[in-house]
Amino acid sequence: MSITWEQFERHQQQLTANATTRRGVIRPGASLLAGLLLCGRCGCRMMAMYTNSGTGLRYVCSRAAAEYGAPLCQSFVGQPLDPLVARLVLQALEPAALALSLRVAADVEAERHQLQQHWHQQLERVRYDAERAFRQYNAVEPENRLVARTLERQWEAALAAEATVQAEYARFLAQQPVPLTPQDREAMRRLAADIPALWHAPTTTAADHQAMIRQLVERIVVTLDGATEQVALTLYWAGGHTSTTTLDRPVARLEQLSYYPTLVHRICTLHAQGLKAPAIAQALNAEGWRPPKRRTTFTRDTVRSILVRQGLWTPRARTHTVPRRPHEWTILELAHQLQIPHQTRMALPGSHAVFANRARACGRGTLRRG
């Protein structure tokens, strides 16, 4: 079975796109950016991993770990990244951005028109040279064989030059995009207004979202700032344009926050002014401070946890205490001793059993509720 040259070229382009060093094919799953993310540290492509029975998403750079047993290069949850890129893509397709792109396309089309005129002048020149060489060869007397042979060679050279220019002009035309008609421009403007509705439609699948993003984004380079919450992104758009942005990812511990030393200093300052933990939490929230993970506000317990670590506050003993055996701790005491965040202690299902196992594993006694 034979195929056309155009089909062969499409197959080659698809094979190139499917290569491991490229974006890869669109795969099932909730990830919008699978195959588009590149690690900003080692340059390898990052993988999309699903956790919690497919409800959680992480992007992981594990090439060196899988092939050489090295530590994981970098990883982060996908929840804050996917919505950010989706928002940037929809912004790029807004009517205002599209109008700007159409103006740029008009400028490119004007430049292309100038190149067309240049090619037409070249074609006219080589065509004139070939016709002039033919007239000279045709006018020579047959008896002048030497002159006739010389003019014949000149004519053949002129024909070859004309064929070369025509072939180069054909390649130029094949590489140029089709000019937009007024009808095309109007259809694009209408489509730009419909794309947000199409994106959020219940019938639009994750694979459709991936296909839409891949029409505009070539690749995204992601770099974590150490173990902090800060992530630097470089988006390479189709057409050669690049843009940079940052986002804050959720982290597990307060110490991972890039502004943790400043936060501790602020809490200590407010504590020195006589404010209690609830008032300190309220002041931090009013000033715009944000805790780790996905919380948006500080709580009394979070502030107390920091004060305990700084040695500025000690949990008060209860009025009615239950007698305890030696080396028997409460959950709160063990959490402070093991430097586990209060939010983690509260969020863990079956936290009593988890902390009891940690206490036994550390050889530090048993655990009592309370």
Contact 51, 57 (CB under 8 A): yes
pLDDT band at 232 (very low <50, low <70, confident <90, very high): very high
Q: Report, as an integer, the average pLDDT of 244-268.
A: 89
Structure letter (DSSP) for residue 320 = S
Per the model's pLDDT, the better-predicted residue between 275 and 329 turns out to be: 275
| Residue 88 sits in the same domain as residue 102 | no
| Judgement on whether residues 43 and 85 belong to the same structural domain of the protein | yes
Q: Tell whether 105 and 164 lie within a shared domain.
A: yes
Is the residue at 367 inside a domain? yes
- For residue 73, being part of any structural domain is answered with yes
- The total number of structural domains in the chain stands at 4
Question: Which of these three, 232, 248, 264, is where a domain ends?
Answer: 248
Integer Cα distance of 30 and 170 in angstroms: 44
The answer to whether residues 241 and 306 belong to one domain is no
Query: How does DSSP classify residue 285?
Result: H
Same domain, yes or no, for 329 and 350?
A: yes
With respect to residue 65, please indicate whether it lies within any of the assigned structural domains.
yes
* Residue 274 forms part of a structural domain: yes
Give residue 178's pLDDT band: very low, low, confident or very high (50, 70, 90). low
Mean pLDDT calculated for residue range 311-335:
69
Residues 273 and 304 both lie in one domain: yes
Residue 148 sits in the same domain as residue 35: no
Same structural domain, 83 and 202 = yes
Please enumerate in sequence order all residues whose Cβ is within 8 A of that of 119, keeping only pairs 6 or more positions apart, or say none. Answer: 169, 172
Task: Report the C-alpha gap between 122 and 124 in whole angstroms.
Answer: 5
Are 75 and 216 part of one and the same domain?
yes
| Same domain as 78, residue 201 | yes
Q: What pLDDT does residue 21 have?
A: 47
What is the mean pLDDT of the segment spanning 208-222?
88
Q: Per the domain annotation, does 63 fall within a domain?
A: yes
211 and 346 together in one domain? no
133 domain-assigned: yes
Range of the domain at 275: 253-314
Both tokens assigned to 205: 């699948």
Average pLDDT over residues 309-320: 72
On whether residue 230 sits in a domain, the answer given is yes
In this prediction, residues 271-297 reach a mean pLDDT of: 87
Greater pLDDT, 40 or 67: 40
| Overall average pLDDT of the 256-264 stretch | 90
Q: Report the length, in residues, of the chain.
A: 370
Token pair recorded at residue 248:
């804050």
The reply to whether 3 falls in a domain is no
Let me know whether 50 and 75 are in one domain: yes
